[in-house]
């Protein structure tokens, strides 16, 4: 269920971020935004000017010079980076009162319950220069850091000196919104082969091999920052390519340099939610060394001119140095203590550009939002949708109840399950969290419980699990668990799990004590060490029985295990939205590798068995060129050394619900197979096309196909046929045989930009085979969330 819930929250996080930004502003665009749109239209019309002189050779010469003289080629470089990101609504000064009246008098549900709560923001509109427009800054993010590198010794480092996130939408999390905007706006380098923006990969027009796919035309000459430049238009003739189009301003000299680039998407119609985007990069030089000095991005999001938000990012590069003189540099990503608690005096001293009038009102806007009952009510609804929790003592109270989706569920062993739980928040302590729950089943009449304590070694802004983590945690739990799943994640009692296509009658009662230390570094390398004690007692139809002889069977009431655990996870380049301890990826890593080693220590705290376990999982995503398809691949494997009964073997994760799970086997029952060694793989392919487009070319529904397979016949060392001290397989659980288990699925995704429907079918171990225990489902319809740009 872990994968299902993660996908479910990915949809809510992304859709709510976009919806809140769009619907909060039934506004007209600013003059600056309108000018940007006119520039974009001019750039997008350049492909018609085929009679202009070719400028390919000028561009190639400039690229060659940049590759030789880029600041990144220096033995040592150091600079400071100031970044400001704002989300602004813009109003016409003469129409503010009219728009307020329209919002107040409108009776449609969107205006009444989504737009009206933002009416207080109109009071903070401030003039936009000498134009007829006024800005309202809804969100303002500022970051200041030092970046340095020693190329001779191949060392890189950053020092995060200051960071602040201001504005409304705090219930979503300013850091989450900032991370989301980081991925939307991307990190564009025109000289790089590919750059990511809007979660898509775009070809760099100044990467030498990419110049074959671009066209460059000389428009004329123009003064830019006092330098005479060739004005060169560039675009990509193939509209199916993710590429840029715009103007380059290259100095007219023996060794030409790029002074400025102004560009947009070659074809913006291929992205959802996007209206227009304008990007401006400016460069400078120190002697022969070329480096960026300013980068600006303006993104317009919405459906039309009356529902538009302007997102603007400005990066300013300062204080370049190419002589290593500071021997105290930390060669990693280092965050100065309390970097997110800098006062206004500090920010005033380091800002290279002043705040606008609208941005200076951000504190007053926050206070007004806190005083608005309608806005606070909307925040609570958003909080419930995102976190599934209800905060006591205000929207950011010290205690919250949840997750509400787990408060009521049903399964065959417990009947109706009622659960009440919660935890403290950052308002209670920015380094310590207490939590837990109580649960009761009306059928088994048993009380279950869990208690958690988590300590962060340094303060956090919203959640203790924020990047980078450095946590000590202790958990004690007593509850029913589905073998093959992790009870401490406790996703089995999510409300969606109440609806299943096979009985849920194979759980065991577990009592678990777990102590861990977890740490991650700037390279997204995470390690966790811990100790775990597990008491396990079968409560379902499966029994722990030893067949001493054909006529002598001994029932074992329970088993105990004590594990020493070491796990590593490496996910370079991963970006995510944080939701308490869970993370929803908004950009998957280059690859993801998880490796776990467990040492079972017989006799320690009464443990019955000694063993060694190693398992791994590798994920890699492939993008087929020209947006044809996206392929997600998983490879995993594991092995157990030592003789252990089947409850301690690998139990593949089945899925009996009607929610599609990309990680589990969707047509396999819970507790169906066990093995002591395995190799498994899965492939999920999403094509940027579906048969529906034969009838409606503008439809964005996509077709997805996938397959999963696991192979791992049980070895003789853990086969109860050869060892009478092992538990015999019974009541539906069987050893995985020489035939691999395999299943396939096909479905449609991006339905209404948020829904996916699949049909999954198992290819082996079907109901026509000689199976025992729970009935086998050969095929089923499954639902899940789906969202893409």
pLDDT at 268: 63
Q: With bands split at pLDDT 50, 70 and 90, how would you rate the model's confidence at 15?
A: very low
- The residues, ordered by sequence, that sit 6+ positions from 484 with a Cβ below 8 Å of its Cβ are 651, 652, 653, 654, 670, 671
Contact between 137 and 369 (Cβ < 8 Å)? no
Give residue 672's pLDDT: 93
Residue 106 has a pLDDT of 73
Better-predicted residue by pLDDT, 698 or 280: 280
Q: CB 547: neighbour CB atoms within 10 A?
A: 17
User: Which two tokens mark 689?
Assistant: 């096309």
179 vs 16: CA distance, rounded Å: 14
What b/e sequence results for 104-143 when a residue is b if at least 16 CB atoms lie within 10 Å of its CB, and e otherwise? eeeeeeebeebbbbbebbbebbeebeeeebbbbbbbbbbb
Q: Two tokens at 380? A: 């609570």
pLDDT 10s digits, 498-525: 999 888 999 999 999 999 999 998 788 9
3-state SS, residue 69 = helix
CB-CB contact of 610 with 602 (8 Å): yes
Q: Do 164 and 340 touch, CB atoms closer than 8 A?
A: yes
Question: Helix, strand, coil shares of the chain as percentages rounded to 5?
Answer: 20, 45, 35
**pLDDT recorded at residue 270:** 52
Residue 374 predicted with pLDDT over 50: yes
Measured CA to CA in angstroms, residue 714 lies from 233, 382, 387, 561, 710 at distances of 65, 48, 41, 21, 12
Token duo for residue 544: 């722990």
SS3 (DSSP) at 255: coil
β-bridge partners, 452: 435, 475
Angstrom distance (rounded) from CA 396 to CA 426:
8
Q: Is a pLDDT exceeding 90 seen at residue 276?
A: no
User: Does the N-terminal peptide bond of residue 468 adopt cis geometry, omega within 30 degrees of 0?
Assistant: yes
Q: What is the DSSP string of 231-243?
A: EEEEEES-TTS--
Q: Give pLDDT tens digits for 245-257.
A: 999 999 999 999 9
pLDDT value at 2 more than 50: no
Three-state DSSP class for 420? strand
Find the angle CA(13)-CA(18)-CA(22) to the nearest 5 degrees. Answer: 150
Task: Determine if residue 580 is left, alpha or beta; phi over 0 gives left, psi from -120 to 50 gives alpha, anything else beta.
Answer: left
pLDDT of residue 681: 97
Nearest residue to 581 via CA among 417, 425, 379:
425
Q: What is the pLDDT of residue 44?
A: 57
Mean pLDDT, rounded, for 644-653: 96
Instruction: List residues bridging with 533 in a β-sheet.
Output: 513, 562
* Mean pLDDT in residue range 95-117: 70
Helix (H) / strand (E) element for 21: namely helix 2-23
Higher pLDDT, 74 or 789: 74
Residue 679 confidence (pLDDT)? 98
Name the helix (H) or strand (E) containing 483.
none
State the pLDDT at residue 552. Answer: 79
At 680 the three-state DSSP class reads strand
Model confidence at 16, pLDDT cuts 50, 70, 90, reads: very low
Where residue 30 falls among pLDDT bands split at 50, 70, 90?
very low
Residue 409 to residue 486: CA distance in whole angstroms = 18
Buried b (16+ CB within 10 A) or exposed e, 642-657: bbbbbbbbbbbbbbbb
What DSSP letter does each residue of 395-410 carry, written as one string?
A: TT-SEEE--GGGSEEE
Lowest pLDDT segment from 99-113, 407-421, 720-734: 99-113
**Selection from 520, 521, 524, 396 nearest residue 461 by Cα:** 396
How far apart CA 159 and CA 124 sit, in angstroms, is 35
Structure tokens at 345: 């005096």
pLDDT-derived band at 663 (thresholds 50, 70, 90) equals confident
Please state the separation of Cα 431 from the chain's center in Å.
24
Judging by beta carbons within 10 Å of its beta carbon (0-12, 13-18, 19+), is residue 618 exposed, middle or buried?
middle
Task: Compute the average pLDDT of residues 34-55.
Answer: 65
Of the candidates 223, 244, 219, the one whose C-alpha atom is nearest the C-alpha of residue 231 is 219
The model's confidence at residue 290, banded by pLDDT at 50, 70 and 90, is very high
The dihedral of CA 227, 232, 233, 237: what is its sign?
negative
Q: Cβ contacts of residue 519 below 8 Å, gap of 6+? A: 468, 469, 470, 471, 526, 527, 528
pLDDT digits (tens, 9 = 90+) for 442-487: 999 999 999 999 999 989 888 999 988 999 999 999 999 999 888 8
Give the sign of the dihedral formed by CA 41, CA 42, CA 46, CA 51. positive
pLDDT at site 99: 67
Average pLDDT over residues 376-381: 86
Residue 310's alpha-carbon distances to 22, 274, 313, in angstroms, are 10, 11, 10
Average pLDDT value for residue range 632-646: 97
Of 103 and 332, the structure prediction assigns the larger pLDDT to 332
Nearest to 593 by CA among 570, 613, 572, 612: 570
Pairing state of beta strands 333-335 and 155-167? parallel
d(CA 314, CA 294): 7
**What digits encode the pLDDT tens for the residues 58-104?**
999 999 999 999 999 999 999 999 999 999 887 766 666 666 676 67
Handedness of CA 43, 45, 47, 50 (dihedral sign): negative
pLDDT in tens, 385-427: 777 888 898 778 899 998 999 999 999 999 999 999 999 999 9
pTM summary value: 0.82
C-alpha span between 386 and 379 (Å, rounded): 10
Strand partners of residue 708: 682, 743
Cβ atoms of 727 and 556 within 8 Å: the answer is yes
Domain ranges of the chain: 10-375, 619-789
Dihedral of the alpha carbons of 188, 190, 191, 193, in degrees to the nearest 10: 70
Percent of the chain, pLDDT > 90?
58
Q: What is the pLDDT of residue 139?
A: 94
Mean pLDDT of the chain: 87
Determine contact, residues 661/691, Cβ cutoff 8 Å: no
Contacts of 736 (CB under 8 A, 6+ apart): 652, 673, 674, 675, 678, 710, 711, 712, 713, 714
* Bond from prior residue into 403 cis (ω within 30 degrees of 0): yes
The tokens for 254 are: 């023996």
Whether the per-residue pLDDT at 674 is higher than 90: the answer is yes
Phi, psi of 230 (to 5 degrees): -80, 130
Residue 337 DSSP code:
T
The 8 Å CB, 24+ separation contacts for 311-314 are 311/85, 311/86, 311/87, 311/88, 311/181, 311/184, 311/185, 312/85, 312/86, 312/88, 313/83, 313/84, 313/85, 313/86, 313/181, 313/185, 314/83, 314/84, 314/85, 314/353
């Amino acid at each position: 269920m872990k994968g299902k819930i993660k996908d479910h929250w990915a949809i809510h996080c992304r859709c709510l971020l976009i919806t809140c930004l769009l619907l909060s502003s039934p506004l007209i665009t600013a003059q600056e935004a309108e000018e940007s749109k006119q520039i974009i239209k001019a750039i997008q019309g350049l492909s018609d000017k085929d009679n202009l002189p070719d400028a390919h050779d000028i561009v190639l010469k400039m690229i060659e010079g940049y590759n030789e003289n880029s600041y990144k080629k220096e033995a040592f470089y150091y600079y400071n980076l100031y970044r400001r990101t704002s989300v602004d609504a813009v109003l016409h000064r003469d129409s503010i009162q009219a728009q307020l009246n329209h919002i107040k008098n409108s009776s449609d549900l969107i205006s009444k319950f989504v737009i009206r709560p933002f009416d207080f923001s109109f009071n903070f509109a401030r003039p936009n220069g000498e134009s007829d427009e006024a800005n309202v800054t809804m969100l303002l993010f500022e970051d200041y850091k030092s970046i340095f590198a020693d190329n001779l010794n191949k060392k890189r480092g950053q020092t995060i000196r200051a960071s602040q996130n201001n504005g409304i939408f705090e219930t979503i999390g300013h850091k989450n919104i900032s991370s989301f905007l980081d991925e939307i706006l991307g990190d564009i380098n025109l000289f790089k082969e590919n750059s990511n923006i809007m979660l898509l990969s775009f070809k760099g027009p100044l990467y030498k091999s990419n110049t074959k796919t671009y066209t460059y035309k000389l428009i004329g000459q123009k003064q830019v920052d006092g330098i005479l430049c060739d004005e060169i238009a560039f675009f990509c003739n193939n509209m199916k390519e993710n590429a840029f189009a715009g103007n380059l301003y290259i100095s007219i000299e023996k060794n030409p340099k790029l002074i400025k680039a102004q560009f947009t998407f070659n074809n913006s119609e291929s992205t959802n939610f996007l209206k227009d985007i304008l990007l401006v990069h400016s460069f400078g030089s120190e002697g022969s060394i070329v480096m960026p000095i300013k980068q600006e991005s303006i993104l317009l999001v919405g459906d039309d001119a009356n529902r538009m938000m302007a997102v603007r990012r400005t990066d300013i590069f300062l204080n370049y140095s190419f002589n290593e003189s500071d021997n105290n540099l930390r060669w990693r990503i280092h965050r100065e203590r309390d970097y997110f608690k800098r006062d206004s005096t500090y920010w005033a001293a380091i800002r290279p550009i002043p705040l606008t009038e609208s941005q200076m009102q951000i504190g007053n806007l926050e206070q007004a939002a806190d005083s608005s009952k309608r806005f606070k009510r909307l925040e609570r609804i958003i909080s419930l949708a995102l976190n599934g929790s209800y905060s006591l003592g205000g929207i950011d109270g010290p205690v919250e109840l949840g997750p509400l989706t787990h408060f009521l569920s049903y399964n065959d062993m417990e009947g109706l399950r009622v659960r009440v739980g919660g935890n403290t928040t950052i308002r209670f302590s920015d380094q310590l969290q207490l939590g837990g729950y109580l649960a009761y089943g009306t059928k088994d009449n048993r009380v279950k419980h869990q208690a958690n304590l988590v300590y962060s070694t340094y303060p956090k802004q919203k959640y203790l699990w924020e990047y980078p983590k450095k946590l000590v945690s202790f958990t004690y739990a007593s509850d029913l668990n589905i073998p093959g799943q992790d009870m401490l994640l406790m996703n089995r009692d999510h409300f969606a799990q109440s609806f299943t296509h096979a009985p849920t009658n194979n759980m065991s009662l577990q009592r678990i004590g777990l102590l861990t230390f977890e740490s991650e570094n700037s390279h997204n390398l995470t390690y966790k060490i811990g100790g775990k004690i597990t008491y396990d007692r079968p409560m379902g139809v499966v029994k722990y029985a030893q067949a001493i002889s054909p006529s002598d069977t001994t029932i074992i009431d329970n088993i105990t295990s004590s594990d020493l655990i070491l796990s590593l996870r490496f996910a370079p380049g991963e970006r995510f939205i944080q939701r308490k301890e869970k993370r929803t990826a908004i950009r998957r890593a280059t690859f993801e590798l998880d490796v776990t080693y467990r040492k079972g220590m017989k006799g320690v705290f009464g443990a019955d068995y000694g063993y060694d376990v190693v398992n791994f999982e590798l994920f890699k995503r492939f993008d087929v060129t020209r947006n044809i398809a996206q392929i997600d691949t998983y490879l995993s494997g594991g092995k157990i050394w030592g003789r252990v009964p089947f409850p301690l073997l690998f139990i593949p994760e089945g899925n009996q619900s009607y929610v599609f799970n990309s990680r589990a086997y969707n047509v396999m029952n819970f507790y169906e197979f066990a093995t002591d060694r395995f190799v498994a793989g899965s492939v999920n392919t999403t094509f940027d096309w579906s048969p529906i487009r034969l009838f409606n070319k503008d439809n964005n529904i996509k077709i997805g196909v996938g397959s999963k397979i696991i192979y791992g016949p049980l070895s003789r060392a853990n086969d109860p046929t050869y060892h009478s001290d092992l538990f015999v397989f019974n009541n539906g659980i069987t050893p995985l045989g020489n035939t691999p288990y395999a299943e396939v699925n096909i479905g449609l995704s991006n339905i209404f930009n948020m829904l996916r429907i699949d049909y999954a079918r198992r290819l082996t171990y079907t109901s026509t085979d000689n199976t025992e225990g729970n009935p086998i489902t050969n095929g089923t319809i499954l639902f899940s969330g789906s969202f893409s740009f």
